[in-house]
Structure 1
Amino acid sequence: RDTVWAALNDTTILQQAMPGCESFDATGENTFEARLVTKIGPVKAKFKFDVELSDQDPPNGYTISGAGQGGAAGFAKGSASVSLTEQDGATLLAYNVQANVGGKLAQLGARLIDGVAKKMADEFFENFKEIVAAGED
């Protein structure tokens, strides 16, 4: 669990795991700036997010939240509560994601937005799992 916790706090790993992430830089003790490019339906946007880690309970979990602007595409904000538990000698990572969008993105419809948000979260945590597993070899 300590290995997974350390990875959840490693900006290089977070950047590598985040789909479309171009940069992920610390701006303070628990604050970061992330830049990413994503495509949601017909809308491709470049976002600049302010990211914050809160509710930290090492090595059991935290909340990661962010809000960003995507220019003409609109804005996006969301959060994920992440928890780590031991199960049969392995670490189980569970997460719950909530996302909201506005502007042109909001016109695409809630079903599409929710689907893309879930896909991006699933892709992030799958990438994260692979990166952490590769580091343990």
Structure 2
Amino acid sequence: MEMTGEHRIAAPRSVVWEGLNDPEVLRRSIPGCDTLEKTSPTEMTATVTAKVGPVKASFGGQVTLSNLNPPESYTISGEGKGGAAGFAKGGADVKLVEDGDGTLLHYAVKANIGGKLAQLGARLIDGTARKMADDFFTRFAAEMEQRAAAAPAPAPTPAAEPVAPAPAAAEIPIPIPVPAETVVTPPSPADAPSFATAEPIPAPQPVPAAGPAPAAAPAPKPAVAAPPRPVPPPAAEPSRGGLSPAVWITALVVIVLVLLYLYL
């Protein structure tokens, strides 16, 4: 028996993948499933009561997961035995495809049936298998939608607040020292020196050179009156500040002689 189908589940692909690997979710979704336990990360055991036409039996079996490619696809295979009712053996390839905010689940089933179940006819068995598959996906989709609704919504990323520009540094005026204006006060007439009343500055007098200390004079003898000597007339002193008259006369005579020599 072969069967393919597709179902859309209104839940993210990651949520659907988790549900397909959750034993409790699968137990509630499989019609007639009594128990389903996970014995390892890839193995589960289950007991299912199913009715196909007039035959009703309880099947116990083991399910194995392989070709794991989370969260996109895997292969599920298993075998169930129902005693006198017969047995079922097969597997299914499951693939998950994102579809907007939901997920498309594709499956392809291959199974073999033996015993009394095989005698009921392929049409009856196919009809029963399709009905069980529809029931399974209806329950499974409801479980996933509830789980997606209960999941907390991701907190929105807060928008970065605009950073206010740093205030420009206030310019502090620096006082520039201004030199005070120097006021020159003219001297008053009373403070001005009077050149009219200024006394003449005497000319410096020659200082006599210091000679050897005089020897001690002998005891004075009684003075003898000497006859008076004639006093010669004082010689003419040279004029201060210019040449003597003799020099001027000599210079004039030389000048006159030169002129006479040039013009005669």
Render the CA deviation track for 1:9-49: whole Å, top value 9, x for unaligned: 00000111000000001122211111010000000000001
Give the structure with the larger helix fraction.
Answer: 1
Alignment length, in residue pairs? Answer: 137
- Superposition misfits of 4+ residues, deviation over 6 angstroms: none
Structure 1 equivalent of residue 258 of structure 2 = none
Is 86-95 or 69-78 further displaced after alignment? 86-95
Paired residues for 1:24-43 under 5 Å: 24-43=36-55
Separation of aligned partners in 2, 1:117 and 1:80:
13
* One-letter amino acid of the counterpart of residue 111, structure 2: A
**Are residue 51 (structure 1) and residue 72 (structure 2) matched?**
no
Paired residue secondary structure (1:27): strand
Match of residue 73, structure 1, among 76, 81, 85: 85
* One-letter amino acid of the counterpart of residue 38, structure 1: A
Separation of aligned partners in 1, 2:27 and 2:92:
16
Match of residue 107, structure 1, among 116, 119, 130: 119
Separation of aligned partners in 1, 2:133 and 2:77:
13
**Are residue 84 (structure 1) and residue 92 (structure 2) matched?**
no
Gaps of 5+ in 2: 1-12, 150-264
Normalised by the size of structure 1, how large is the TM-score?
Answer: 0.95
Structure 2 equivalent of residue 126 of structure 1 = 138
Structure 2 equivalent of residue 2 of structure 1 = 14
Separation of aligned partners in 1, 2:97 and 2:147:
20
* One-letter amino acid of the counterpart of residue 63, structure 2: V
Match of residue 21, structure 1, among 33, 37, 41: 33
Gaps of 5+ in 1: none
Separation of aligned partners in 1, 2:101 and 2:37:
33
Separation of aligned partners in 2, 1:123 and 1:77:
20
Separation of aligned partners in 2, 1:99 and 1:112:
14
* One-letter amino acid of the counterpart of residue 98, structure 1: K
- How big is the shift at 1:107? 0.3
Separation of aligned partners in 2, 1:8 and 1:54:
13
Q: CA RMSD in A?
A: 1.0
Render the CA deviation track for 1:72-126: whole Å, top value 9, x for unaligned: 1010112121110111232111111222210011000111111111111121111
Is 39-48 or 80-89 further displaced after alignment? 80-89
Normalised by the size of structure 2, how large is the TM-score?
Answer: 0.50
* One-letter amino acid of the counterpart of residue 109, structure 1: G
Identity %: 53
* One-letter amino acid of the counterpart of residue 22, structure 2: D
* One-letter amino acid of the counterpart of residue 33, structure 2: C
Paired residue secondary structure (1:23): strand
